[in-house]
Amino acid sequence: MFFFMSRSLLTNETSELDLLDQRPFEQTDFDILKSYEAVVDGLAMLIGSHCEIVLHSLQDLKCSAIRIANGEHTGRKIGSPITDLALRMLHDMTGADSSVSKCYFTRAKSGVLMKSLTIAIRNREQRVIGLLCINMNLDVPFSQIMNTFIPPETPEVGSAVNFASSVEDLVTQTLEFTIEEVNADRNVSNNAKNRQIVLNLYEKGIFDIKDAINQVADRLNISKHTVYLYIRQFKSGDFQGQDK
């Protein structure tokens, strides 16, 4: 599929308006769209500056763009109108079980070739209230695109990520890694290891998971009351105490 991304919606294009629910938006609709603003920013940061991300509200088609990242590729900005192409994609996603368009190729006014995708945003009634449009500029040099996915020469130190199959596995993997981490730290005395392990797990947010305290207590061979005690001490700033 190939289209020209060049024409905005004109006031006399009433046939396109027939696709839209004309009821006023409710506050929950605005809240849903607002929540997608972070998605726009996050996708732009992840994919790179060669990709334009546009969030459209279907409340007012004359100024539908409510969030945009890297809009220089098409010359659009917040307040720009929706395009006839976006509405055409909406027409293809009228069914409640269809919210993602097929990938298609477009050319912006400047002539750059773009690979695009449109995602329908629905409210709890399955009414389409917005569109998330992703447009990747294919005329950007490939080396520039690849640089987005290459770590810098002096990368920031990152934490290891546990891709566990269940929350129980997540607790187990994190616990075992933390035990190894603390045991390898010569600055932690043997009597303080359990307390340090609990502290490290607390800082990693493991105790936000249900039943994690029981798992940790069983593995460290201490009572769950001792784990609770350590956590209370950490919260209060009192790190004194002995393993029980």
pLDDT at position 242 over 60 = no
- pLDDT recorded at residue 85: 83
- Percent with pLDDT over 70 in the chain: 82
Could you tell me the pTM of the whole model? 0.66
3-state secondary structure of 97: coil
HSE-up of residue 91 (Cα within 13 Å, Cβ side): 10
HSE-up of residue 68 (Cα within 13 Å, Cβ side): 22
Domain architecture of the chain: domains with CATH: 2-147 (3.30.450.20), 167-236 (no CATH)
Segment 140-161 shows an average pLDDT of 73
Question: How does pLDDT run across 156-168, given as a tens digit for each residue?
Answer: 555 556 566 688 8
Segment 172-200 shows an average pLDDT of 93
Residue pair 107/5 in contact by the 8 Å Cβ criterion: yes
Pull the structure tokens for residue 3: 């289209």
